[in-house]
Amino acid sequence: MANARGGVSARDVAEAAGVSRAAVSRTFTPGASVAPATRAKVLAAAEALGYHVNYLARGLTRAESGLVALIVAELATPFRSQLVSALTARLQEAGKVAMIINTDRSDASVERALRQAIAYRTDAAVVLSGMPDQALADLCLRNGLRLVLINRDEERVGSVRIRLDDRDAGRRAFEMLRQAGCARPALATSFAGTTSLADREQGFLAAARDAGVPVLHETLGATSYETGLELATRLLSRPDRPDGVFCPTDLMACGVIDAARHRFGLRVPEDLSVIGFDDIPQAGWDAYRLTTFAQPVDGIAAASVDWLRTAPPDPFAADLIRLSARLVWRGSVRTPRTGA
Amino acid sequence: MANARGGVSARDVAEAAGVSRAAVSRTFTPGASVAPATRAKVLAAAEALGYHVNYLARGLTRAESGLVALIVAELATPFRSQLVSALTARLQEAGKVAMIINTDRSDASVERALRQAIAYRTDAAVVLSGMPDQALADLCLRNGLRLVLINRDEERVGSVRIRLDDRDAGRRAFEMLRQAGCARPALATSFAGTTSLADREQGFLAAARDAGVPVLHETLGATSYETGLELATRLLSRPDRPDGVFCPTDLMACGVIDAARHRFGLRVPEDLSVIGFDDIPQAGWDAYRLTTFAQPVDGIAAASVDWLRTAPPDPFAADLIRLSARLVWRGSVRTPRTGA
DNA sequence: CTGAAAGCGCTTACAG
DNA sequence: CTGAAAGCGCTTACAG
């Protein structure tokens, strides 16, 4: 009981059990060779004293700390919190523990977050928001931590990116609107500049171009419910009112639906078809029944943790894992049958 | 560059700067005395090498690790994720970092979580889900970590509980329904047995008893949207159909509103008044406009972190901090004017 | 299988 | 203000 915070250490246990400190260490190291009798004595003493291996000290001698940093902005958002939850669970299964670091998405705050991760010698940092430049990524590498970039576009040597087929989903969204008989499709976008968002939008626009159909397009604020509300208000106030709209985010789509219904007295999908992206829980609620693309949240988490466990560290490779967004058909898009 | 994971250490910096390791340490210790010139040399060398103080090692010598464990189940729920987000932010402001540990709320998993926190020598554990028994709490204390119990009822010596005036809110909910002219008030509860939930319900029931009004009461499942849907379905199928209902959770309230509207064709609040609790973002959405009690999420986070910073550790005291839930009046309860 | 010893990267009295 | 030294709590060859 002689350390800085008065906890119980391996030495206390060793004394109580009448063995060496090494024997205590071995007892708590899977696979180490300890005689059953020794082991039993150690375990008994440890239990009696309330001993727990100090992972901080262990992290100092071993190559791994067991810590993984999750770098994220706006954690309270439905999609974000689902992803963090899945990541935390998967990490736990793999014997790691998640440390969460908030950012505001600015370069400075992402840098601060990463430096924090380095200081704690986390085994890896999973970036959900913002984007470190290559110099920062190199700094991480040099300090022995691996980088997982989720839904980020630019490649960084020594890291893995996990991406969806956003562009393709955007195209499919357009096709669905066409098949639903929408004559005036619209796109509601935000100023949040992440590439996964941009890809969804580009895909939609490209498909429209190919089909020779003009699209009504409004852009505003963040990817929030409130933005959806306001965007719909603008779109639906136009003389050439759209009859179908694709939102790169479910939160925006919920806002669009509510504005259409409650502020314009429109019916969804009869008067306006709406397609979202993410498949947050609210998308399945009776008030929305939103047709949307589901992000494979658990698949993303599993792929991240798997890569960390199995991919050999390679400071020159920039890995890429592509996952698919699955269409979830609910009631917010007209079917040809229900059609106007 | 000689450690287990090949990172850069204070020794490397000391060599490069031509000073002692102690000088490097002092440069990164606020308030330590270092000559400006020495400091400058160290900083330059550190920058060039990409050095970061190893917090794991620092945590070994100092009394604090800077780590705080957040122990939580169902992180992806709106209220939970808001609280975790606020806690993380406040902790960060205080120079700490949050480690999140998932539980399934069972005693075994809470114990596992706490032992994990002890192993990492976190400065504190904030318990949002489940409840450690006194023996476990003692184990934490003995290992130098403080306990913050949020919305938990039983007191634990050596910890602080942060509680709301749940009982009172329950009473107020009943009064509101009465004033709205509801003749057949109902209570929709879940089987989730936390005391804050129970207190809200008890308060409601007690007020009804005092007023001599019988209350229709159904109980089911978890505190989820789905439970709300099902509970409303049962309640609204009864011959003595309620005209007002209090839900101890906004998620349940959203389910109740959706069932009333979309499955029974009822109007809210004209046919059914609904009151929730939490004030999750969705409560403010146009589809719900839910009248509810707001949990002071940031206040809870601030109080937690403040206590950690300022309350002197006392292994015999069981502190209690009471916060108020603020009524947020929106449109889901009839006003006497709109009344039937 | 076991213990003594060295080492991981820090910090902190202690002399100077 | 500065450095040598001891110590925090572990793990891991190294002998035995």
- Tokens standing for B62? 């100092």
Percentages of chain A per state (helix, strand, coil), in multiples of 5: 45, 15, 40
- Quick check: is A117 in a domain? yes
The answer on B44 and B107 residing in a single domain is no
The answer on A303 and A154 residing in a single domain is yes
The answer on A172 and A158 residing in a single domain is no
User: Which nucleotide is at minimal CA–C1' distance from B23?
Assistant: D2
Strand A326-328 with A291-294, pairing = antiparallel
CB interface of B with A, residues 210-239, below 8 Å: 225, 229
The answer on A89 and A238 residing in a single domain is no
Q: Which residues of B touch A282 (CB under 8 A)?
A: 282
The answer on B246 and B128 residing in a single domain is no
Could you give the CA distance from residue A272 to residue A235 in angstroms, rounded to a whole number? 11
Which residue do the tokens 């890809």 mark?
A199
Could you give the CA distance from residue B123 to residue B144 in angstroms, rounded to a whole number? 7
The answer on A239 and A171 residing in a single domain is yes
Which residue do the tokens 């523990």 mark?
A97
Over residues A277-293, the pLDDT tens digits come to: 999 999 999 999 999 99
- Quick check: is A100 in a domain? yes
CATH code (residue A42) = 1.10.260.40
CB contact under 8 Å between B76 and A89, yes or no, is no
Distance A39 CA to C3 C1' (A): 15
The answer on B284 and B190 residing in a single domain is yes
pLDDT on residue A296: 97
Could you give the CA distance from residue A314 to residue A309 in angstroms, rounded to a whole number? 13
Alpha helices in chain A (DSSP H): 10-17, 21-27, 36-49, 55-61, 78-93, 107-119, 134-142, 166-179, 195-211, 225-237, 250-258, 264, 297-310
- Quick check: is A59 in a domain? no
The answer on A193 and A148 residing in a single domain is no
- Quick check: is A3 in a domain? no
The percent of residues in chain A predicted with pLDDT above 90, rounded, is 81
> What is the separation of C-alpha B243 from the centre of its chain, rounded to a whole number of angstroms?
32
CA distance A90 to chain B (A): 10
The percent of residues in chain A predicted with pLDDT above 70, rounded, is 98
pLDDT on residue B330: 96
- Quick check: is A81 in a domain? yes
Q: Is A285 on the interface with B (CB under 8 A)?
A: yes
Sheet containing strand B185-189, strands side by side: B216-219, B185-189, B244-246, B273-278, B291-294, B326-328
Which residue do the tokens 């009804």 mark?
B208
User: How does residue A8 score in pLDDT terms, banded at 50, 70 and 90?
Assistant: confident
CATH code (residue B110) = 3.40.50.2300
- Compute the mean pLDDT over every residue in chain A, rounded to the nearest whole number: 93
Q: Is A76 on the interface with B (CB under 8 A)?
A: yes
CB contact under 8 Å between A92 and B102, yes or no, is yes
3-state secondary structure of A125: strand
Phi, psi of A130 (to 5 degrees): 75, 180
Could you give the CA distance from residue A147 to residue A139 in angstroms, rounded to a whole number? 11
CA angle A301, A306, A308 (to 5 degrees): 100
Over residues B249-293, the pLDDT tens digits come to: 999 999 999 999 999 999 999 999 999 999 999 999 999 999 999
CA distances, A270 to each of A236, A292, A338, B318, B328 (Å): 14, 17, 8, 59, 34
- Quick check: is A340 in a domain? no
The answer on A41 and A87 residing in a single domain is no
pLDDT on residue A240: 93
Q: Kindly state the DSSP code that residue A3 receives in the 8-state scheme.
A: S
User: How does residue A4 score in pLDDT terms, banded at 50, 70 and 90?
Assistant: low
B40 touches strand D (CB under 7 A): no
The answer on A222 and A261 residing in a single domain is yes
pLDDT on residue B337: 58
Q: How many CB atoms lie within 10 A of CB B21?
A: 14
The answer to whether residues A208 and A245 touch, using CB atoms and an 8 Å cutoff, is: no
Write out the residue range of the structural domain in which residue A100 sits. Answer: 67-164+297-325
Q: Is A266 on the interface with B (CB under 8 A)?
A: no
Q: Final residue of a domain: which of B279, B294, B309?
A: B294
Q: Which residues of B touch A255 (CB under 8 A)?
A: 285
pLDDT on residue B257: 98
- Quick check: is B198 in a domain? yes
Could you give the CA distance from residue A253 to residue A245 in angstroms, rounded to a whole number? 9
User: Which nucleotide is at minimal CA–C1' distance from B2?
Assistant: C8
Please name which of A44, A91, A97 lies closest in space to residue A66, comparing C-alpha atoms: A97
Residues of chain B where predicted confidence (pLDDT) is lower than 50? 1-2, 338-340
CA distances, A298 to each of A83, A113, A320, B40, B203 (Å): 7, 24, 17, 47, 40
Q: Is the dihedral of CA A167, A169, A175, A178 positive or negative?
A: negative
3-state secondary structure of B35: coil
Could you give the CA distance from residue A163 to residue A149 in angstroms, rounded to a whole number? 9
pLDDT on residue B195: 85
Number of structural domains chain A divides into:
3
- DSSP states along B63-129: S--SEEEEEES-TTSHHHHHHHHHHHHHHHHTT-EEEEEE--SSHHHHHHHHHHHHHTT-SEEEE-S
Over residues A63-74, the pLDDT tens digits come to: 889 999 999 999
User: How does residue A100 score in pLDDT terms, banded at 50, 70 and 90?
Assistant: very high
The answer on B281 and B177 residing in a single domain is yes
Which residue type occupies A176?
M
Could you give the CA distance from residue A310 to residue A299 in angstroms, rounded to a whole number? 16
Over residues A306-338, the pLDDT tens digits come to: 999 998 888 888 999 999 999 999 999 998 754
Q: Is A241 on the interface with B (CB under 8 A)?
A: no
The answer on B210 and B148 residing in a single domain is no
pLDDT on residue A120: 95
Distance A64 CA to D11 C1' (A): 12
User: Which nucleotide is at minimal CA–C1' distance from A36?
Assistant: C1
- Quick check: is A104 in a domain? yes
pLDDT on residue B4: 59
